[in-house]
Structures are given as structure tokens and as C-alpha cells.
Chains A and B, each alone.
Chain A
Amino acid sequence: MLQKMLEIRFFEEKVFELYAQNLVPGTIHLYAGEEAVAVGVCSNLRKDDYITSTHRGHGHCLAKGADPKRVMAEILGKKTGYCKGKGGSMHIADFSIGMLGATAVVGAGIPIAAGAGLSIKLRGTDQVVACFFGEGASNQGTFHEGINMAAIWNLPVIFVCENNLYAMGTRQSKVMKIENIADRAVAYGIPGVVVDGNDVSAVYKASHEAVERARRGEGPTLIECKTYRHKGHSRVDPARYRPKEEVEAWLSKDPIKRLKEKLLQTKMLTETEIAKIEKELSAKIDEAVKFAMESPYPAPEEALEDVYA
């Protein structure tokens, strides 16, 4: 799990770097700081399980096993990207690994995840779906409708709320009277669990239970992971609305730093071994950047292709 988390962190650092050099068209929403959520959840999933993702989706893709080369190429708008340059940062999908795509409409993936769950039920397989969304999405009607639908039909879906405290610049306390999104599970008659989203073991454990429950046909679970994004909402956002002390407190709870400390303390890994892993992953991401940079842009007229299947 450390490897996957580092892969995502290094990847996002590179995206930020490329953006600073004006090489990334459009906008970016970085996952740095939230790696424990995607990795903790996806470590419980098989290749044939599904996930749905959000505008902040690079981490979900990589955690599910997407190739960083093709993710990076998509972010740069290249023909070799997963979506041939038609999706970009906010719309990456890799159906070959069950990554059903990121939607940039907040909360819109929730009903779609329920539908993938319904498909599993109708086909009679034991796959599951993990549905990622932020705490902001929990104020959308689709949250209510989608989780209710999954609950009444006992669909194998794990609803994973990444609560990073801010919906763009709006603090959670300003838009809801409750502290825990997981409390909303009561309204649907399903389990709701709050976990420390910066502790990958805690996320793993909670999602493990939810995944097993779903595979047994016992229905969905809502897991709320308390976490924090290291950067602003998007590339234009310096995040001045977040108090300095709050940012510092959360940075000190960096999920990667915590996992490393734990692995060192329990002597699972040595400093030298971690350094070696970091070097390898850094090289892997450099390679992804090289691949993406060297890839061609799509021909302009390809814009007219793929409207219909």
C-alpha cells in the first residue's frame, strides 16, 4: 500500500509541476493528501470489481491499477491517453480494470455506481462497486436517491465519502448541521462508519468489512473517511480560506508520513528500503511523464469521432 500511495503522491507532484510549466491544459484537482482513502479501499478490490470516481480522480485510477503513462497522457490531452484526449483530468476511465469513469458533475457517480451494483446482482456475480465522492456531494439529491436505491435492493456497493472538509471553498460546517456524513446512513437503513482517512490501515479495515458484506449480498455500506487535500480545490485556488494552523495540523497527519513511521517502528521496512522504493516509483512517474510528453496530440478532426457507438 505504501508503494501505491507513493505512486499517487509522486504522480500528483509531477502533474503540479507540469501545470506550473503551463503544460497541462484546463484545470487539475490534485489527490495529494488523500491517498490513504483510494489505496485503502482499492486494496480490497479485485480487478473485476468496479469503481466510480470524481473530478479529483487521478488517485482512484492509479489505486485501481491504471497505467500512470496513459493517465498522464490523458491529463496532457494526448492521443495515447485513456480517453484519446477527449476526457482530460476530470474524465478518466479504464473499463479494462473496472474503472467506470470519473464524472465532473458532483454526486453524479452515485446513481451510476448503484446501477453497476444492480448489474452485478442481475448477472449473479460476486463483484462489488466502490463509489468515491466528496462530502460536498452528500448534499446532492443523487446522494439520497442513489444510496436509497442501493439500500432497498441490497446492492453490492461501498459508498466512500472522502470528507476533506471543504467543497471548493465552502467549509462543511457552513452547509450541514452534522459533523459526520456517515450518520446519514441511518436514513437508508445501512451501516455508516467513520474512519480516519489518513490512516490507510483503518481505511483498509473498514472497507474490507464493507466489501465482504457486499460480496455476501448483504447490501451497501457508507464509509466516511476524514481526510484533507494538501493543495487547493483546483489549480487556480491558493486555498486562503483554510486557517494556517488547520493546514499545518493536517500536514503533520500526512498519510504517507504516518505509514512510513509505522512501517519503520514495526521494522517492516528500513529507511534504505523505503528510499529504494521511492527511487523506483519516482523513476516510474518520470517515465510516465516522458511517455505523455512524447505522445502526439489527437488529430483535430478526431473531435468528430466517438459521438455514437
Chain B
Amino acid sequence: MRKITYREALREALREEMRRDSSVFLLGEDIGKYWGGAFKVTEGLAEEFGDERVRDTPISESTIIGTAIGAAITGMRPVAEIMFGDLTALAMDQIANQAAKIHYMFGGQAKCPIVIRTPFGAGVNIAAHHSQSLEAWFMHVPGLYVAVPSTPYDAKGLLKTAIRGSNPVMFCEHKLLYPLEGEVPEEDYTVPFGVADIKREGEDVTIVATLYMVHKALSAAEKLEKEGISVEVVDPRTLVPLDKQGIISSVKKTGRIVVVSEDCKTAGVTAEIAAIVAEEALDYLDAPIKRVAEPDTPIPFSPTLEQYVIPNEEAIIKAVKEIV
């Protein structure tokens, strides 16, 4: 199968959906002809679809989302880009109080099919305002879906599902994943929400990881294999809806679980997944649940500091060895 990058996979999904459905349009800061998006995901799309459907906006995050909502509830399917995930804070009222609640508080009258694409994640030395992993904020708001693709295949398939759906989706990308290559079929396909993917099968311990951490978990698993520890890596692919059964099935098999995420440990992604396993699968566990997450600090600038706080392969290996 051909290989393309995560960035190209996202772009293909956008291009194909825009060709398929004239109600799909894009808006965001510098997504048009001159930049093609800060991470070049939308490069070339303005040339094909024009400035009307690939709209450069003012630096107005709140109104990028508000405008997307107004368009969505009147029949359009906007895909908004927020240049960095950290900046969703500027749009939080529109995301959490408006988009997420419109269907519910108006008694099901209106659908709000917006997709908010935004990159999270640290590792490129851009410090506290451009590096956070805030997926858990959105898990806490009923009415939003939260997608977390870790591969080009998942990125394309999940983005298509998001665009074709009827609900607001926080589409969380990771800035280190954009250049990553992977197999993506030429033909049309989608990846359903709420279905975890086993990225590697194993017997002794389950690692649940998302986004860039999936790749760190996979390389940790390689090393552990050489030491005789068989690791299963489960990627939920969407945090809302979360494939609880997929995670629990793996735990039933291995009896051990390490949950890995790049966001802060307190009240984060790992906390939620660990709580679910503790609540619903405790009887299958042969060892305590382990979590590997970012310590509760802002992301620092200096490479030595930044690398210290990002969960790494060694931390994953250590956590696994503590329970195996």
C-alpha cells in the first residue's frame, strides 16, 4: 500500500470531503493561499476550492468557532482550524457553552456539525502557550466528541467521520505527527468513532496510549519484547466516545495496564481511563494500574526542561516493569 504523511492524509480527507459535499468549507487563520496553515495541512486547498471555501480569518478564535457554529446550524459543515491547541482557550465559550450544548438545550431541534482541528503536544521548544495537551478539557464537556488520531490512516478516516457526522468534534492532532508516514489506501474509507485499535498485540501487559504517545509506547514495546515482556498497545482513537470495552477486553487478556498520555496527570486522560478500569475491570487486574503522564507543570522552554516533563520511553518501560 502507498505511504503518505499524517499531514497529507488530513489534507486528502479535507479535499475529498470538499469535493463530495459543497456544504463543507474551511476557516481559520492563515489557512489560505499564502501559508496553507501553520502546519501546511491546508496547503493547495485554496487553489482548488477558492478563497470562499478556504477562508482566512482575522485573529479571532472565539469568532472563528462562533461563525462555524452559526454556519453549521443553518446547513453548512464547517471545518475550523485553531492554529495551536492552546488557543482553544480563547474560544472556550463558543466550544463548550455553545457548540456542545446547542443540540441538547434546544431540545434536539438543531444539529451542530462542526469540526475543530487543532494541534496539541510538546517537543518543539515553543514553550507554555504553544505546547500543551488539553484533550481532557473537552472530554469534560458533554456534547463534544474528541478524536485523537495517531497515524495517517486514522487521521484520514477519523476526519472523514468527523466531517460527515452530526455533532461538534474536537479533532486533536499532534504537531510531531505531521511528518509521520504510514499506509493509507487510495480508496474512500472512514474510521468509526468509539472503536479502539490494537496497534500491537501482546500477552503480558496492556498499554493504552494516544497521539504521539502511541509511537513511544510502540518503541517501548519493541524493547520490552527483547526482555521477554509481551506488550499490547491499545489506541482508543477517540476519547469521546471511548471504547471502554476495547480497553477492558485487553485488560482481561493481560491482567495489567499502563495508561500513557502527554497531558497533565491530574484529572487528565490517564485519570479517566484508569478510573474506568478500576471501576469496571478491577477483578481482571493482577497488579495496580500505572499511569505515565506529564507532571503538573506548564510546558517549559529550554530543551533540557521540556524533555524532562514530556513522558518518554524510559518512563513507560519503568512503569511496565513495576507491574510485570
Contacts and interface: CB of A to CB of B under 8 A. Distances in A.
A108 B70 CA distance: 11
B109 A108 contact: no
A111 B71 CA distance: 10
A231 interface: no
Contacts of A52: 70
Contacts of B166: 308-309
B63 A149 contact: yes
Contact of A103 (B76, B98, B104, B107): B98
B105 A309 contact: no
Nearest to A91: B105
A112 B105 contact: no
A306 B69 contact: no
Contacts, number: 148
B65 interface: yes
A95 interface: yes
A83 interface: yes
A127 B24 CA distance: 20
Nearest to A302: B107
B228 interface: no
A114 B70 contact: yes
Contacts of A153: 55
A145 B70 contact: no
Interface string A224-261: 00000000000000000000000000000000000000
B105 A83 contact: yes
Contacts of B205: none
Contacts of A82: 106-107, 109
Given A103-B98, A108-B98, A146-B63, A122 B76 contact: yes
A83 B107 contact: yes
B17 to A, nearest CB: 15
Interface in B11-29: 25
A95 B97 contact: no
Given A116-B71, A142-B62, A307 B106 contact: no
Given A86-B105, A123-B75, A93 B63 contact: no
A309 B108 contact: yes
B106 A114 contact: no
B46 to A, nearest CB: 15
Nearest to B108: A306
A309 B103 contact: yes
Instruction: Give the size category of A's interface with B.
Output: 35 or more
A149 B68 CA distance: 12
A91 B60 contact: no
Most buried by A among B53, B73, B105, B166: B105
Contacts of A87: 105-107
B102 interface: yes
Contacts of A93: 106, 109-110
A143 B66 CA distance: 11
Nearest to A144: B60
Interface in A112-132: 112-120, 122-123, 129
B93 A309 contact: no
Nearest to B142: A307
A83 B106 contact: yes
Contact of B70 (A118, A148, A306, A307): A118
B52 A306 contact: no
B67 interface: yes
Nearest to B109: A95
A95 B110 contact: yes
B116 interface: no
A100 B70 contact: yes
A18 B65 CA distance: 38
Contacts of B57: 149
A285 interface: no
Interface string A37-80: 00000000000001010000000000000000000000000000
Nearest to A123: B75
A81 B107 CA distance: 9
A129 B296 CA distance: 45
Nearest to B111: A309
A265 to B, nearest CB: 42
B74 A100 contact: yes
B62 A111 contact: yes
Interface in B90-148: 93-94, 97-98, 102-113, 142-143, 145
A108 B67 CA distance: 11
Contacts of B103: 306-309
Interface string A85-119: 11100010111000011010100101111111111
B58 A145 contact: yes
18 contacts: A83-B105, A84-B107, A91-B105, A105-B98, A110-B63, A111-B62, A112-B67, A112-B70, A114-B63, A114-B67, A115-B69, A118-B71, A120-B74, A145-B60, A308-B143, A308-B145, A308-B166, A309-B167
Interface of B: 25, 52-53, 55, 57-58, 60, 62-63, 65-76, 78, 93-94, 97-98, 102-113, 142-143, 145, 166-167
Given A108-B93, A111-B65, A117-B70, 8 more contacts: A82-B106, A100-B74, A101-B73, A112-B69, A118-B70, A149-B58, A309-B103, A309-B166
- In order of increasing CB-CB distance, the 5 nearest A-B pairs are A115-B70, A111-B66, A83-B107, A145-B63, A84-B107
Interface of A: 50, 52, 81-87, 91, 93-95, 100-101, 103, 105, 108, 110-120, 122-123, 129, 141-142, 145-146, 148-149, 152-153, 305-309
